[in-house]
Structure 1
């Protein structure tokens, strides 16, 4: 049975059942509606957390049948994803490829294919939105769905979750796990417990029985450092935390962290999803392997990432006001640097210049600690209805645009040409020469004599 397409207006929970219509807000001249799901507050388990299982590795196994049932890792120098066959042998992320192979001698490592991942994600999210208009994306491979308004016309939340899993398997060919609960937090924990390729409902009257026996590492938001601190006090399960008063939790973890975790273990987290909020950032990253890496190679990789995110920025009709550089080092520690631009921009040249400056400023720590991953993110996004150009007091060079100000080169036509080539011939049709591997080069067909210019 195909999923039912519905249009649903959230209600305020009053007995009159009068629809609560969120007021549109004006964002830079663009009218935008933001819907807040509130049906779950009635007490039903109607929030789904749908999470693709080992997404990158599952895509590789889907597209190469000989990989199915075998331990597979995606990456190279650093493991980006691992199949469950590999995870059972100790392979995890982020882990060096050398360590992964030592733990799993038969490990098959395949390179990432991000365009394929993006297309698979798009198809999965299409299924989510065919199921309910209330979808809150969390990442490329997971989302929350509110199906509380569909129980009279489309089945129970568990039935809807089962149908979502079936559609994803049939139409996209990927396994997906779904957790069903009253709150997004509990739904996410349920999906983690049900993995791989499972379905688990946490009924409202069984929340404590489900949550309290779980180890603290299962709690969404509890990282390695927080778990280590809690275990040092003999606290190992969610039930141990639930036995503590809130002020004790605050004393252990600080104000925000303590209050949040106290709410988590007592089922007091928000029941709402926010749908339609503006995207806050656009980013991309690239694993470089254990190295060492020449500074020119790292810079070239960074420029390739800037090309990718700047195209996505313009495709979204946005400008960015801040550039963030993300680095991961050989000891798996991370660092980030940011630069706020004088004016919002969508220019690849200006964004690349800002990112390159941040990388040069971090060259000392990169050389000392070794870099294994570089990433870039664009934040402070605003609509591109109006772009304020930068002004300069330098002399006007030949070939620049007076409209943009002296000394500021107009690259908008160049960006438009590059975007057009990518849309027509694919994202890999045009690349920077610095990203070509040694010995590959490029060639063009020879013209017959007399056909030249």
Structure 2
């Protein structure tokens, strides 16, 4: 793999159906039953589904009414983000017994750089197995893991043997592993980009690898360079233990100015749906919602509201957005709108970032 920096040993730990599994652990009567966390039979969105529910096609971000239709026996459970955060902290405490280089992505997944580790165990594969066994024994939940030379490959690998499994992609195997993947399995390639790639004849990692850097940059801009590298196992992003997300926002800039509050509200609804999807995907919730309005003269107004409970779904935070909009006097054309959630259910940490190398997968 040309131009590849020093290889590292990265583990991606991903809890299995985290919210639903916590509910089944805390409420034994729910074990073995199809449950959906979030929403109800009549309204809302599924935040997480148990594996029993997934067999019926129920999945996260699905409208609750659709989920209920697919699985008539589906049990809806109200999310308890405080409890999920509590369990997440216990899981992270286990991680920190092995390495200080932990980068949480959400409550239920994290990257660990174990190139050197506190246990002195040279095998990242054995480390991942031990960590998963401890999570099961000490907390009562199963986790899956991916192990490889970089975050990108480890993240993909963790999904292969779910639930309660792991996969190691060793240095010699990385490129062949990526070549065999359908393009939509590449982390960071969404439906729109995957569809565009397929139009260009790129359906797998092998197809992607055949495309030149020039071709990819021509069709995908700066992302083209990223695509060119990742399929060759080149991904330089380090595990960043000091990465602490303080807020989560979605903003849209419009080509045509918006002139009425009715139009603004319609656009904010679209933004809210996008924000909901992103929050749910990362298991993030917040207690403070803010709106941002930038006018055609580039002046900006913001308003915010904090409540005692965590919010992640549009049904929870959009009524507050409507209230905040009522307090804005929109007298000029609007060019940008945004919604953000802050005071998140994530935790600070200040780990040591010393890194050394002793490779053995």
Secondary structure of the structure 2 residue equivalent to 1:179: strand
* Among candidates 130, 140, 152, match of residue 97 of structure 2: 130
Report the Cα offset of residue 252 of structure 1: 2.2
1:50 aligns with 2:20: no
Report the Cα offset of residue 375 of structure 1: 6.3
CA contact (8 A) 1:176 1:197 kept: yes
* Among candidates 171, 177, 202, match of residue 204 of structure 1: 171
Instruction: Spell out, residue by residue over 1:394-436, the C-alpha distance to the aligned partner (whole angstroms, 9 max, x if none).
Output: xxxxxxxxxxxxxxxxxxxxxxxxxxxxxxxxxxxxxxxxxxx
Instruction: Spell out, residue by residue over 1:344-395, the C-alpha distance to the aligned partner (whole angstroms, 9 max, x if none).
Output: 999969xx9x967654389x9xxxxxxxxx962369xxxxxxxxxxxxxxxx
* Among candidates 241, 246, 254, match of residue 281 of structure 1: 246
CA contact (8 A) 2:291 2:340 kept: no
Q: Which has the higher contact order (CA 8 A, sep 6+)?
A: 2
1:238 aligns with 2:183: no
Report the Cα offset of residue 276 of structure 1: 2.2
Alignment of 1:17-416 (within 5 A): 41-43=5-7, 46-76=9-39, 77-150=44-117, 153-253=120-220, 255-270=221-236, 272-277=238-243, 279-282=244-247, 327-328=272-273, 337-338=291-292, 358-360=324-326, 376-377=341-342
Alpha-carbon separation, structure 1, partners of 2:182 and 2:305: 47
Structure 1 residues 333 and 169: alpha-carbon distance in aligned structure 2, compared to 1, 3 A threshold? closer
Alpha-carbon separation, structure 1, partners of 2:32 and 2:103: 32
Structure 1 residues 357 and 106: alpha-carbon distance in aligned structure 2, compared to 1, 3 A threshold? closer
Alpha-carbon separation, structure 2, partners of 1:121 and 1:143: 10
Instruction: Spell out, residue by residue over 1:200-229, the C-alpha distance to the aligned partner (whole angstroms, 9 max, x if none).
Output: 100000012211111111111111111111
Alpha-carbon separation, structure 2, partners of 1:275 and 1:151: 16
Alpha-carbon separation, structure 2, partners of 1:41 and 1:69: 46
Alpha-carbon separation, structure 2, partners of 1:154 and 1:346: 48
Partner of 1:304: none
Alpha-carbon separation, structure 1, partners of 2:119 and 2:35: 43
Structure 1 residues 282 and 97: alpha-carbon distance in aligned structure 2, compared to 1, 3 A threshold? same
Alpha-carbon separation, structure 2, partners of 1:155 and 1:332: 39
Structure 2 residues not aligned, in runs of 5+? 250-269, 280-289, 308-316, 331-338, 345-361
CA contact (8 A) 1:327 1:375 kept: no
Structure 1 residues 235 and 361: alpha-carbon distance in aligned structure 2, compared to 1, 3 A threshold? farther
Secondary structure of the structure 2 residue equivalent to 1:338: strand
How many residues of Structure 1 are paired with residues of Structure 2 in the alignment? 282
Report the Cα offset of residue 168 of structure 1: 0.7
Alpha-carbon separation, structure 1, partners of 2:72 and 2:323: 41
Alpha-carbon separation, structure 1, partners of 2:119 and 2:73: 50
Please report the RMSD computed on the Cα atoms of aligned residues, expressed in angstroms.
3.6
Report the Cα offset of residue 128 of structure 1: 0.7
CA contact (8 A) 1:355 1:376 kept: no
Partner of 2:255: none
Question: TM-score under structure 1 normalisation?
Answer: 0.56
Instruction: Spell out, residue by residue over 1:111-137, the C-alpha distance to the aligned partner (whole angstroms, 9 max, x if none).
Output: 111111010111001111111111111
Alpha-carbon separation, structure 2, partners of 1:375 and 1:134: 28
Alpha-carbon separation, structure 1, partners of 2:94 and 2:278: 37
Structure 1 residues 101 and 360: alpha-carbon distance in aligned structure 2, compared to 1, 3 A threshold? same
Alpha-carbon separation, structure 1, partners of 2:108 and 2:141: 11
Secondary structure of the structure 2 residue equivalent to 1:177: strand
Instruction: Spell out, residue by residue over 1:231-285, the C-alpha distance to the aligned partner (whole angstroms, 9 max, x if none).
Output: 22332111111111111112222x21211111111111115222224x342459x
Secondary structure of the structure 1 residue equivalent to 2:163: coil
Structure 1 residues not aligned, in runs of 5+? 1-39, 285-324, 365-373, 380-453
Alpha-carbon separation, structure 1, partners of 2:245 and 2:115: 27
